[in-house]
Structure 1
Amino acid sequence: MESFGQRQGGEKTILISVNVQILENLDAEEFRLLAKSAGAEIFEHLTVQRVKPDAKFFIGTGKAEEIAERVTNEEIELVIFDQALSPAQERNLERILKCRVIDRTGLILDIFAQRARTHEGKLQVELAQLDHLSSRLVRSRSNLDSQKGGIGLRGPGETLLETDRRLLRIRMEQLKDRLEKVRKTRTQGRAARQKANIPTVSLVGYTNAGKSTLFNILANSDVYAADQLFATLDPTLRRLDWEGIGTLVLADTVGFVRNLAHSLVESFKATLEETLEATLLLHIIDSNSPEMMEQIEAVETVLNEIGADIPTLRVYNKIDQSGEEAKIIYAKPHQPERVYVSAHTGQGLDLLRKAVHECLMGRIQNFELLLKPAYGKLRTQFYALNVIQSEHYDDEGNLHLIVAMAPQKLEQLIKQAHLPIDEILGTQAQQFKRPLEEFEIKR
């Protein structure tokens, strides 16, 4: 069997999208972006129509022979399919095409291998790649012994070619043990935040929806952001002060994509655990994408798969491109459902902050407070939250404040300071005698 030595990235590539009547047809432009993100030099993008997949070649014998002739004539180095191929189909295609063949899952894994930066991210990628390639060991040994790397073979792919199934299983168990330790560390961190009553807000959304750009603005951070698929792979957490709320943790997560293999979801579960444990999800949506509805459905499907039953605020980003205006849409009074913003221009970010405040703390109201001179610490907390609208002192040295904040947060601060709520709020304190649920968002 002929061997196909490859250079690192930049392979001359043919993309093949297969529209199968019994399967979901994928977005051709997204497929091209995935290939470009992996570094492929796209020579041609072919679309094949099938009633159902061919068991041997997925695309049928005649079409496979036609593509094989093109591969030979144009010296094509790599063929990528926008569907999941079985190991046998990959082997059969490589024999007839006489070049390397990978499927959609292999392509996404290669991008993950390039983008992983943290220790945890690299562990996740290696485990996912080994899981995907374990069933392809026969192909690897038979015709890829002289591989030098390339799209679909970065990271552990190179060492896998010299590893038998027994050693492979041992390595996968080692990776799972190490990832379990990472999960425990994350769990301890989350437990500490929950004990301190610190809410976590996680940004989720389709890849390239603008999550990292928005994250950088909200957290005043410098997380890598680019106009490409899977620019972010590793989860990033930042602790920050949010007006009217106080300390919260903002989390940026890996972008979602349609038809993500179940094995990938499983392997990246530690990354997605930040989503599972969040107090609020911000579902970032590219409002300018022609595939917007399909992308929303893809994200919600994965969230359902991992059991993320968490209050969610939809954030429609890129309104500077879509022509929408900055606004908040409410499902009920004081219950935000959607916010329209532009992370690029800053439009609507003040509305986003207000909506997050309402989602976490409830309806914002104005309260008149009376603070004795000894209650100065409480005044300092109000200033830290930036909720004071006005203040003045009376002749007895008492401070009269007007603050704009959620009743739940106000009651929490007064109780934590062990101060008399009736004295500070006067007749306004009566509303706090009612069940707290009246001040909370019904979710």
Structure 2
Amino acid sequence: MSERVLILAVEKKTMDHERFMYSVEELISLTETAKGEVVDVVTQKRDRIHPSLYIGTGKIEEVRALIESENIDLVIANNELSSSQVRNLEGYIDVPIIDRSQLILDIFASRAKTNEGKLQVELAQYQYLLPRLHGQGQSLSRLGGGIGTRGPGETKLESDRRHIMRRIDDLKRRLETVKNQRHQYRKRRESNRVFQMAIVGYTNAGKSTLFNRLTQSETFEENQLFATLDTTARQLKLPSGFQAIVTDTVGFMQDLPTALIAAFRSTLEEVLEADFIYHVVDASHPDHYQQQETVKRLLEDLGAEHIPMLTLYNKKDLLQTTFIPFEKPALTISAFEQADHKRILNETESLIKTLFSLEEIVLDKDEGKRLQQLQTEGIVEAIVFNEETEQYHLTVYLPEGHPLLPKSKEESEF
């Protein structure tokens, strides 16, 4: 049975009202993703958030009445709460209180599937809870009692700060080992000259749906926030036969918990290894421009803004009006339409050509293996077999310094 949830949100007078409402709607979606039922939303306009109670004392009376009349099980605040705010609020109301960050961490805890994903979530939870131990009494005593209690939240963390610090150090060491293993895997991919692509975007933009359709794979996809938490890589074949590795990444979001950004940085660093990025934007979302800018800002923070990108404005089937893309190059698509998959692959191939150089290569008839490599590691424009000389004449796009380039070309560069 789902928990009955009351949402609390403070709108500072300096905030844009529309942006505030989008943020509340996002919190409602996050709560539903965590299997909670949002019964009501209480908002308050203030010059600033109340330093000790989050909301004003007058509003607390309204909240107490709602909790009683609506049988509320849990209160979720739209902003990050300090330990003293949680403690003081729990002194007034008789139900547990968590904040937006704790809710997101809870969703991540329920969704992580790989060993690395689970380690990262656990680390983020400990780092989030450590400075708040004295304000988490009631929340932490709910042994597996619902939203906000998954993972380390199920134990009495406040009893042993030193134990938590040791656990954080242990998790960091284990994550470093996993990170090194992934780095070795990436180095192997690089040495094999595999072209790497990454799919990024705001959470629930349709990244996994597109990833599955383009690669014919079956990663988890659902109309929920944070459906994908673990990085997945698959092979992608372009119309010419050129092959790349494409990676589906965790969804971006505004106001992610700081601990979570830090813990997931190594996963997001996969984007830095990419030669090309698909940025998927939910064109049907009323706040899609801000979502797009959030992703671009996070890519800049990672140092990935220089990587060539194709922006894919997804969910065109849900658009009510004519859509004009903000970015170029861009395509307006539906991840479910096969015709759009072909458009994406054709446009991708055209853009990759601009990154490569056009080469003329001659192969003898017995160089079949090299011919096959050129067809998968380069983009072949034309191939002609000369029966008199028994040779293949290829016009092919290849990345600079590729080992399949003619030896004379490589030598001439020195």
1:321 equivalenced with 2:318 (yes/no): yes
* Residues 293/325 of structure 1: CA separation in 2 closer, same or farther (3 Å cut): closer
Query: What is the distance in 2 between the residues matched to 1:186 and 1:400?
Result: 39
342, 347, 357: which one aligns with 1:350 = 342
* Residues 339/62 of structure 1: CA separation in 2 closer, same or farther (3 Å cut): same
Residue in structure 1 matched with residue 263 of structure 2 by the alignment: 267
Residue in structure 2 matched with residue 308 of structure 1 by the alignment: 304
Q: How far off its partner does 1:244 sit?
A: 4.3
On the 8 A contact 1:326/1:348 being kept in 2, the answer is: no
Q: How far off its partner does 1:375 sit?
A: 4.2
Residue in structure 2 matched with residue 441 of structure 1 by the alignment: none
Secondary structure at the residue paired with 1:31?
helix
Q: How far off its partner does 1:219 sit?
A: 1.8
Secondary structure at the residue paired with 2:2?
coil
Residue in structure 2 matched with residue 169 of structure 1 by the alignment: 165
Which amino acid in 2 is paired with 1:36?
E
95, 101, 106: which one aligns with 2:97 = 101
Which amino acid in 2 is paired with 1:197?
R
Query: What is the distance in 2 between the residues matched to 1:280 and 1:401?
Result: 29
1:68 equivalenced with 2:64 (yes/no): yes
On the 8 A contact 1:210/1:343 being kept in 2, the answer is: yes
Q: How far off its partner does 1:143 sit?
A: 7.1
TM-score, normalised with respect to structure 1: 0.82
Residue in structure 2 matched with residue 30 of structure 1 by the alignment: 26
On the 8 A contact 2:279/2:311 being kept in 1, the answer is: yes
207, 222, 225: which one aligns with 1:226 = 222
Query: What is the distance in 2 between the residues matched to 1:188 and 1:88?
Result: 45
Which amino acid in 1 is paired with 2:405?
K
Structure 1: gaps (5+ residues): 1-8, 332-336, 422-432, 436-443
Residue in structure 2 matched with residue 429 of structure 1 by the alignment: none
Query: What is the distance in 1 between the residues matched to 2:249 and 2:289?
Result: 20
84, 90, 94: which one aligns with 1:88 = 84
1:17 equivalenced with 2:9 (yes/no): yes
Secondary structure at the residue paired with 1:79?
strand
1:291 equivalenced with 2:281 (yes/no): no
TM-score, normalised with respect to structure 2: 0.87
Counterparts in 2 of 1:38-437, with a 5 A limit? 38-141=34-137, 144-145=140-141, 147-161=143-157, 163-244=159-240, 246-311=242-307, 312-322=309-319, 337-362=329-354, 371-382=363-374, 384=376, 387=380, 391=384, 393-394=386-387, 396=388, 398-399=390-391, 403=395, 405-406=396-397, 408-409=398-399, 412=402, 415=405, 418=407
On the 8 A contact 2:142/2:154 being kept in 1, the answer is: no
* Residues 264/412 of structure 1: CA separation in 2 closer, same or farther (3 Å cut): closer
Aligned pair count reads 407
Q: How far off its partner does 1:271 sit?
A: 1.3
After superposition, the C-alpha distances for 1:12-38 in whole angstroms (9 at most, x for unaligned) are 111122211245735132221111001
Q: How far off its partner does 1:307 sit?
A: 2.8
On the 8 A contact 1:202/1:252 being kept in 2, the answer is: yes
Secondary structure at the residue paired with 1:308?
coil
**Percent identity (aligned):** 36
On the 8 A contact 2:133/2:157 being kept in 1, the answer is: yes
Q: Bigger shift: 16-25 or 280-289?
A: 16-25
After superposition, the C-alpha distances for 1:377-426 in whole angstroms (9 at most, x for unaligned) are 444345556846564544x25356575x43x359947526x4x77xxxxx
Structure 2: gaps (5+ residues): none
Which amino acid in 2 is paired with 1:66?
E
On the 8 A contact 2:238/2:346 being kept in 1, the answer is: no
